[in-house]
Every structure is written in structure tokens, then in C-alpha cells.
Amino acid sequence: MKKALLLIALFAGIVAAQPAPTYAAGDGAVPPEMEWSFRGFNPEWDVEQIFRGYKVATQVCMACHSFKYIKHRDLMKLGFSEEQVASLADEMGLGLDDKLISALTTEAALMSYGTEIPDLSLMNMARPHGADYLHALLVGYEEAPEGVSVPAGKHYNKYFPGHVIAMPKPLTMDGQVEYPEGSKVEPTVDQMAKDVSAFIEWTGEPILVKRKTLGVYVLLYLLIFTILSYMLMKSIWSDVKKK
């Protein structure tokens, strides 16, 4: 029995030892780890949160950023009806199948910010620490420490690699975005940052939760299979020994 336990422990160890994202020295500060509904053993989308995040994304971020892999119809995967989604799209002057493209052109962005503005759809997958980084970045603006000079038109951000970012602080005050009636939370800067990060997690991988849940079943299957093969091996060998 001891051996079986050892085997299980070993197996569990392999599963738990997922590689942690690495961060090179000199990069932004390591973002604090937040709690997200889409992480952990039983990941799921918090639809209300994603919807609040959609509000922040479309009302604030889209002034500069696009979400080119997302259209309003995709919101139906969260359980919204076609009618609801069509009316949301309509509020923005968009059709159900129009991509979420910012009105800010690349040329205008280069003129105003000296850099291209990245599409946000896949941003959480493209950065170490994903949603944690995004949330931290949005609340990580501060006065530059003494001795650090920030060029005109740029801003100091603790979490941005290199600390000098061209994006002006996008979430500046509580209540900047009006949350849907009956929301369980207030639109504080921190909450808006969390919600939009959850939205961007979702735009990055709308099937993520399904995939993760499937992963859990696969692991359970493997675990049971391991135990069964061990028991089978035991019983075969005990027969051999008896003879």
C-alpha cells in the first residue's frame, strides 16, 4: 500500500509542477496574484464580471485599442441572447458581426503616442502573469522615483517592463464607467481594472474554461488508470509468487 501511495504522490507531484512564468531582472515588478474565477481547480467564467469588463473595454480602452478578434456575436457564447447582444452592438453603431476596432488609426496613434497601440484581444496570453499583470498595470501608475526621468508624454508605471509607458493612465477615477443596474460591485478604479482584465482573459480564449475542465477529467482518468494498473500488477505478481 505504501508503494501505491508513493506512486500517487509522485503522480500528483508531476501534475502540480507546472512551469511558473519567468521574469527577467530589470523588468516590471512582479504583479500581485489575484483571485480569478477562471483559475484554480474549477475554473469558470464570471459572466457578470466579463460583462462589466466589456463596458470598461468598450467605453474606455477602445478609445485607443482594438479587440480585433472579437465581435458582439461572440458575447452570445456567454449566454446573452441575440437581441441583447444586437442592442449592445447598436449602442456602439456596430453590427453583430463587426469586429471591435478602435477609431484611432495607426498613423494617429504614432503621432500622438510615438508608438503603435497593441490589439488587446490576446493580450493576457501574450504577457507573463496574464490577468494579474493587466490588473497591476492599470493600477500601477505612480510618481517616478527620485532620479528617474520620464520623457515628456510618457508615464511611470511600476509594472511595465522598463517602467516608462506611452499609455496615459486609462482608469483615473471611481465611477468612470457606469456599471449595469444591480451590479454587486462598485466601479472603483481597482474593480474596473479587475473586470476589464477578466474580459480580456475571455477575449483571449473563450473556450478556456471548457478546456480546463476537460483537463481535470483527463487527470482524474489518468489517476484512476494508474491505480488500477498498479492493483493489476500486484495481483498478477501475487499469483506468480504463490506458484
> Which stretches of the chain bind ligand HEC, using CB under 6 A?
56, 60-61, 63-65, 113, 115, 117-118, 120, 123, 127, 134, 137-138, 160, 165-168, 170-171, 196
CB closer to ligand HEC, 66 vs 88: 66
Helical residues (DSSP H) of 114-205, grouped into ranges: 123-126, 130-139, 189-204
The span from the CA of 164 to the CA of 155, in Å, is 6
The span from the CA of 229 to the CA of 178, in Å, is 57
The span from the CA of 237 to the CA of 180, in Å, is 65
What is the maximal distance between C-alpha atoms in the chain?
A: 86
The span from the CA of 145 to the CA of 161, in Å, is 15
As separate numbers, helices (DSSP H) first and strands (DSSP E) second, the chain gives 8, 4
CB closer to ligand HEC, 89 vs 137: 137
Residue 146 carries which DSSP code? T
Q: How far is the CB of 174 from ligand HEC (least distance, A)?
A: 14
8 Å CB contact between 165 and 231: no
The span from the CA of 121 to the CA of 202, in Å, is 9
Q: How far is the CB of 138 from ligand HEC (least distance, A)?
A: 6
Taking the CA atoms of 18, 221, 44 and 210 in sequence, report the sign of the dihedral they define.
Answer: positive
CB closer to ligand HEC, 25 vs 240: 25
The span from the CA of 138 to the CA of 28, in Å, is 13
CB closer to ligand HEC, 92 vs 236: 92
CB closer to ligand HEC, 118 vs 215: 118
CB closer to ligand HEC, 185 vs 223: 185
Q: Where are the beta strands (DSSP E) in the chain?
A: 67-71, 99-100, 155-156, 164-165
Q: How far is the CB of 123 from ligand HEC (least distance, A)?
A: 5
CB closer to ligand HEC, 40 vs 114: 114
